[in-house]
Amino acid sequence: MRRLGFGSGQLAGPGYWQARLDAARSTAILRRAVERGVTLIDTADNYGPDVVEELIAAALHPYPTGLVVATKGGVVRTGPDVWHHAGRPEQLRAQCEASLRRLQVDTIDLYQLHRIDPEVPLAEQLGTLVELQRAGKIRHIGVDTVTADELECCLAEATIASVQNRYNLVHRDSERVLAMCEARNIAFLPWFPLGKGVLTTGGEGSHSRTIAEIAQRYAATISQIALAWLLHRAPVVLPTPGTASLAHLDENLDAADISLDAEDLRQLDALAAPASA
């Protein structure tokens, strides 16, 4: 299995609103990802909203054997960078049914609770997903943006197959969550694996020189080193970098071929002190 997946958020426009590209260019990127061996495409119902799920289905359905399409529900987007929690059982059921229709499937491979709704008991939110799982509409359940304590609570309510938290070379607030995932063999999908563009240009402050020097030694780009570090970090880490560029897609996927040596890993590990979330 190729551990580098494709995150489809960049196929939405700024603020995850409407489409960024015309349908032909989005289709080309999605199909190229699959041609390069990508087996995980990550999306969400609020990318667009609705738009990106529809693009994925138009480009790839019927889906190749072995391709996992993961989506998310639990928030509602009402404008660019404007979203609201939507974790009531009736909302989650309606969102899941809508994603099934847009993706043109009977079962969603991986359905992730995009955010825990603080106004709804967690047991009701995950309980609804478990009901959908038992009904055959969801194969696996994941959660997005959780602390270590929240993950413990989630594990008490459902079998959690994946966690999706912000984590990259210079932002490591989820170190404890990653350790929990590694101990329990839960897939860890770091969002913003390139720091929302920070790690395409070299990191922050004094980080830049170290990353650039290491990249030069491998004849690689800074972003490739950042992705290679994530792949070395733990076997449960499945980065899903996104892009709206075919060239950048190939560049990202080529990072899987980089084998960092122990000294370079030590230097990269030292770039950010682990936090405690």
Residue 189 domain flag: yes
* Tokens matching residue 157: 């309510």
Flag whether 269 is in a domain: no
Q: Is residue 154 situated within a structural domain?
A: yes
Judge whether 275 lies within some domain: no
Which residue in the list 16, 47, 111, 167 is annotated as catalytic?
Answer: 47
The closest alpha carbon to 74, from 46, 98, 108, belongs to: 46
* 248 located within any domain: no
* Per-residue pLDDT of the chain in tens (277 residues, 90 and over written 9): 689 999 999 999 999 999 999 999 999 999 999 999 999 999 999 999 999 999 999 999 999 999 999 999 999 999 999 999 999 999 999 999 999 999 999 999 999 999 999 999 999 999 999 999 999 999 999 999 999 999 999 999 999 999 999 999 989 999 999 999 999 999 999 999 998 766 766 545 567 788 999 999 999 999 999 999 999 999 999 999 999 999 999 999 999 999 999 999 999 999 875 554 5
CATH code of the domain covering residue 88:
3.20.20.100
The domain in which residue 162 lies consists of: 6-194+236-241
How far apart CA 46 and CA 84 sit, in angstroms, is: 10
Q: In 74-87, which positions are buried (b, 16+ CB within 10 angstroms) versus exposed (e)?
A: bbbbeeeeebebbb
Asked if 225 contacts 216 with a C-beta cutoff of 8 angstroms, the reply is: no
Q: How many CA atoms lie within 13 A of 239 on its CB side?
A: 28
Domain annotation covers residue 121: yes
Partner residues linked to 70 by β-bridges: 42, 110
Does 47 participate in catalysis according to the annotation? Answer: yes
**Is 131 within a domain?**
yes
Is 153 domain-assigned? Answer: yes
Looking at the structure of the chain, the number of domains it has is 1
Half-sphere exposure of 70 (CA within 13 A, CB side): 26
Whole-angstrom Cα distance, residue 252 to residue 226?
Answer: 10
